[in-house]
Amino acid sequence: MSNIKENINKIKSNIPKNVTLVAVSKTYPNSAILEAYEAGQKFFGENKVQELVAKYETLPKDIEWHMIGHLQTNKVKYIAPFVHLIHGIDSLKLLTEVNKRAQSNQRNINVLLQIHIAKEETKFGFSEEEVISLFQSNELTKLTNIAVVGLMGMATNTPNKEQIRNEFKGLKSLFQKLSTLNSKLTILSMGMSSDYKIAIEEGSTMIRVGSSIFGERNYN
DSSP state of 135: H
| Contact pattern from residue 135 through residue 154 relative to ligand PLP, giving x for each residue in contact according to CB under 6 A and a dash for the rest | -------------------x
Positive or negative, the CA dihedral 156, 160, 164, 170 is negative
Euclidean distance between CA atoms 68 and 162, whole angstroms: 25
Q: Judge whether 39 and 14 are in contact, CB under 8 Å.
A: no
Question: Which range, of 33-41, 90-98, 171-179, 188-196, touches ligand PLP by CB under 6 A?
Answer: 188-196
Considering the rule CB under 6 A, would residue 24 count as an interface residue with ligand PLP?
yes
23/98 with CB nearer ligand PLP: 23
Euclidean distance between CA atoms 150 and 25, whole angstroms: 22
| Contact pattern from residue 31 through residue 70 relative to ligand PLP, giving x for each residue in contact according to CB under 6 A and a dash for the rest | ----------------x--------------------xx-
- Give the three-state DSSP class for 66: strand
- Quote the least distance from Cβ 142 to ligand PLP, whole Å: 28
Euclidean distance between CA atoms 151 and 115, whole angstroms: 7
Amino acid identity of residue 76, one-letter, is V
Considering the rule CB under 6 A, would residue 210 count as an interface residue with ligand PLP?
yes
Residues that bind ligand PLP (CB under 6 A): 24, 26, 47, 68-69, 154, 192-194, 208-212
